[in-house]
Amino acid sequence: MFVFYDKIYIEEIDSTNSYLKSLNASDRTLLYTFNQTKGRGRKNREWLNFKDKNLALSVLFVPQYPVENFLWHIAVFSLSLIDILKEEGVENGWIKWPNDVFIDDKKIAGVLAESVWNNGVMEKLIVGIGININSDRNDLSGIDKKATSLYFETNKTFALNGFAERYIEKLERYFDLFFSDKGKSEIRKRWIDNNKLLGKKAEWIICDKKYIGTVVDIDSDGYLALDDGVETRKVISGDIFLI
Ligand code: BTN
């Protein structure tokens, strides 16, 4: 059974990802807080903090195996939340490849994966998620993009400790599945099932060039496959916009 060797709760920290990056901790160390004061998003964006309302949680992996890409780890983090949303009766949650969890057109969580390399070898992989739990309308209106929270979707306030324990348990189950024989194909199946992009027209930008095409697959490497009418292109990272 996959378990996190260390589960550390910290009352306040600038960024759970940054802290784990700087720490000489062992593989499968998990760190979480309800008060992250300088959360970071992708592309140097800021991840806003609402003290004692939301969860910021990161895991450090010290890979004993070659990590081809982080996409699977990101998917595991997102799927674990999708499960909880369903248990809470929120059926319209979906994963916006590669790393956002949405409810309809509003974002409820984001995942940030970062790595540390030495001589071409990945020494550390840090994956962190920020989940909006008890943020209210007022908090959410301070975010520059459409956002939501569990409270907003269910009208229920969540005990943060209980939520964190529940999420950690889901993560352990999903990582257990991921590291099993058929792990990737199982994760891929669920990822596709909870992905609203498939079959939709989307726009994406690579090296300042804009492409338009139809999302046709999440392939066996975890990449997004888009058909632009001429060929099927692999998108390995970046932002996809539905049009
Ligand atoms: C994004 O939407 O761009 C990703 C947001 C990731 C936020 C989480 S919160 C826990 C971890 N620590 C950070 O500083 N960022 C990630």
For the stretch 200-214, pLDDT in tens is 999 988 777 888 999
Atom from ligand 1 closest to the CA of residue 57: 10
Residue 68 clears pLDDT 80, i.e. is over it: no
- What six digits make up the tokens of 6? 């260390």
Which pLDDT score, from 0 to 100, does residue 52 have? 96
- pTM of the complete model: 0.95
Question: CA dist 55 to 34, 61, 77, 98, 149, Å?
Answer: 5, 20, 13, 20, 11
Contacts made by residues 115-121, CB under 8 angstroms, sequence distance 24+: 115/67, 115/70, 116/21
| Cα–Cα dist 144/200, whole Å | 25
**% of the chain exceeding 90 in pLDDT:** 78
pLDDT in tens, 19-39: 999 999 999 999 999 999 999
As a whole number, mean pLDDT of residues 95-99 equals 92
In the reported structure, the alpha carbon of residue 227 is separated from the centroid of ligand 1 by a whole-number distance in angstroms of: 30
Residue 228, φ and ψ in degrees, nearest 5 = -95, 15
User: Is pLDDT above 80 for 65?
Assistant: no
Q: Which of 33, 40, 46, 107 to mutate to test the pocket of ligand 1 (most atoms within 8 A of CB)?
A: 40
Give me the chain's average pLDDT, please.
93
146-201, pLDDT tens digit by residue? Answer: 999 999 999 999 999 999 999 999 999 999 999 999 999 999 999 999 998 899 99
Q: Which one has a higher pLDDT value, 34 or 144?
A: 34
Residue whose CA is at the smallest distance from ligand 1 atom 7: 130
Alpha-helix runs per DSSP H in the chain: 16-22, 71-87, 137-140, 150-154, 160-178, 183-193
Confidence of residue 113 (pLDDT cuts 50, 70, 90): very high
Range in 80-89, 168-177, 225-234 with the lowest mean pLDDT: 225-234
Residue 106's nearest CA partner among 152, 38, 40, 39 is 152
Q: Which ligand 1 atom minimizes the distance to the CA of 130? A: 9
- CA dist 185 and 80 (Å) reads 16
Q: How far apart are CA 54 and CA 235, in angstroms?
A: 31
Closest CA to 130 of 149, 146, 103: 149
Q: How confident is the model at residue 64 (pLDDT cuts 50, 70, 90)?
A: confident
